[in-house]
Structure formats: structure tokens, C-alpha cells
């Protein structure tokens, strides 16, 4: 059966020393509880190797927030999937709406990134989600389906089973405006149906679908109680040990 997962997405926050301290704080806090979910932190590239050294990887997973769409070569400033994997990270967040919006990441580019991640044994945490206008004009289910189909549906069932999905309505990210548990459940159930049509019910049932967008300790339990919400991708609230742990313990 699918895993429950709470994953932090630090975005472009914390310098190296602050980041290592935050990772250690989460690692320590996890020693004192029995988490009913897998816990992952997504950190800036510069932090990956030192954070990996500072945490117990059997209790806390490590993710990059992106990787390049090329394996190696003359791409000044880029960080490849093999480089990420060599730090000890096991996951990579791909297709975040901020990457799509500010860095022009298309489904075509994301398809390449997903393939490179999988070739390097990194599990993609693949983000999808509609903007406010698409929510309001009623096209949101189709928008999300298209994002999934275009970037992921050329994968074999075996490869697809390594993907973690994160539904993040763009209008809820960093805005304090969370989707209601019912809105999240509607989308997650719809996504699972789309997966079942393509890969069969077993693969669909085994895929973790996280919710992201202003998830915090005060609303996590209600969201996670929904049958198709398998955890969260947490931005702002992952930058503080207490609030992140408040979400981890919502399971």
C-alpha cells in the first residue's frame, strides 16, 4: 500500500549554517517520536551534501528542489541529476509551479528531468496544480490531467511507480489560502482515477499523492484524514522545526 509522506520544500531559504541547523533540529525531533509517515526535507543544492552528513537517512529523507535537463557538459551553473544523487539525496522535487512560472519549465523539459532523475535512482516528487483562473473557470481537473499525461505518461508502469505526486493549487501556495479538504480530496481522487485508467488500479492505489499549499499544523490533520490525501509538500511551515513537526505528527 502507498506511503504517507510529509516533505518539506525549503525553496530559496536559509544559508548553509542555518540549513544544517534546521535539518539537525528535524532529525533530533524525529528521534523522540514514532512518525506514522515518511519524512523528507527538500533543500537548496548547496546544502545537500552537508545536510546528508548531518542527518540519519533511515529516519529523514533528503530531496533536491530541482535538477538540470542534461546529464553533464557545457551548461554553466546547472546541477545534474547524477550530481544530486552523488550527495546522498534520494528524491528530487520537479515541476514546482515556481519553476514552471519563473523559469519556463514546460512538460517537455520536465519529461527529460524525470527521466534523468529515474536513471540516477532519484524518486521525483512531481508537482502539478492549476492557477486561480483555471480553478474559477472550472478547467482545473483537465489542467492537472494534462500536466500529468504530458510529462509522465510515457513512463513504464515500473518507472511510474517510483513517482510521488504533489498536487499544489498555485492559488494556495504561500498565500495562506489553503484548499479545503474537500477540494483537495476531489482532485486527489480524480488524479487516482486518471492513473488507474493508464496504469491500472494497483499502481494507482500505490501512488502517494501529497497536497501542498499553505499546509500548516492547524489544517494538516483535516487534509490528511481524506482517503486520497497521502501527506503534504510543505513550504513556509517546513522552515521551523516545531511547525514542521506539527504537520508530521498530524498523521
Chain residues in the site for ligand PGA (CB under 6 A): 9, 168, 173-174, 212-215, 233-237
- C-beta closer to ligand PGA: residue 44 or 235: 235
- C-beta closer to ligand PGA: residue 100 or 192: 100
R_g of the chain computed on alpha carbons: 17
Would residue 168 show up in a list of annotated catalytic residues for this protein?
yes
For the record, the C-alpha cell of 211 comes out as 497536497
Q: How far apart are CA 251 and CA 248, in angstroms?
A: 6
The residues pairing with 123 across neighbouring beta strands, listed in sequence order, are 91
Dihedral sign from CA coordinates of 36, 37, 43, 48 = positive
**Closest chain position to ligand PGA (CB):** 235
Query: Cα 187 vs. chain centroid, distance in angstroms?
Result: 16
Minimum distance, C-beta of residue 215 to ligand PGA, in the bound complex (Å): 5
Distances (CA, A) of 128 to 96, 143, 196: 7, 9, 17
- C-beta closer to ligand PGA: residue 199 or 211: 211
Q: Indicate which residue of 105, 130, 134, 168 is catalytic.
A: 168
Would residue 70 show up in a list of annotated catalytic residues for this protein?
no
Minimum distance, C-beta of residue 75 to ligand PGA, in the bound complex (Å): 25
Q: Indicate which residue of 96, 98, 105, 188 is catalytic.
A: 96
Contact 22, 238 (CB under 8 A): no
Minimum distance, C-beta of residue 195 to ligand PGA, in the bound complex (Å): 21
- C-beta closer to ligand PGA: residue 44 or 199: 44
Q: How far apart are CA 74 and CA 210, in angstroms?
A: 35
Minimum distance, C-beta of residue 5 to ligand PGA, in the bound complex (Å): 13
Catalytic residues: 96, 168
Amino acid at each position: 500500500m502507498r506511503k504517507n509522506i510529509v516533505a518539506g520544500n525549503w525553496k530559496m531559504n536559509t544559508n548553509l549554517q542555518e540549513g544544517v541547523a534546521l535539518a539537525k533540529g528535524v532529525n533530533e525531533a524525529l528521534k523522540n517520536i514514532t512518525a506514522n509517515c515518511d519524512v523528507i526535507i527538500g533543500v537548496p543544492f548547496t546544502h545537500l551534501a552537508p545536510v546528508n552528513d548531518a542527518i540519519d537517512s533511515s529516519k529523514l529523507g533528503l530531496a533536491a528542489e530541482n535538477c538540470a535537463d542534461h546529464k553533464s557538459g557545457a551548461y554553466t551553473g546547472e546541477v545534474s541529476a547524477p550530481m544530486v544523487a552523488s550527495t546522498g539525496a534520494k528524491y528530487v522535487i520537479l515541476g514546482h509551479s515556481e519553476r514552471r512560472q519563473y523559469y519556463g519549465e514546460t512538460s517537455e523539459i520536465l519529461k527529460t528531468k524525470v527521466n534523468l532523475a529515474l536513471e540516477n535512482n532519484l524518486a521525483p516528487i512531481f508537482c502539478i496544480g492549476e492557477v486561480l483562473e483555471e480553478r474559477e473557470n472550472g478547467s482545473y481537473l483537465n489542467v492537472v490531467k494534462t500536466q500529468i499525461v504530458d510529462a509522465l505518461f510515457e513512463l513504464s508502469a515500473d518507472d511510474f511507480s517510483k513517482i510521488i505526486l504533489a498536487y499544489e493549487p498555485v492559488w494556495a501556495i504561500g498565500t495562506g489560502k489553503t484548499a479545503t479538504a474537500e477540494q483537495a480530496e476531489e482532485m486527489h481522487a480524480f488524479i487516482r482515477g486518471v492513473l488507474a485508467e493508464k496504469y491500472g488500479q494497483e499502481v494507482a492505489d500505490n501512488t502517494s499523492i501529497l497536497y501542498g499549499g499553505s499546509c500548516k499544523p492547524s489544517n494538516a490533520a483535516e487534509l490528511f484524514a481524506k482517503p486520497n490525501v497521502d501527506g503534504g509538500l510543505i513550504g513556509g511551515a517546513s522552515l521551523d522545526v516545531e511547525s514542521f513537526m506539527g504537520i508530521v505528527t498530524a498523521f
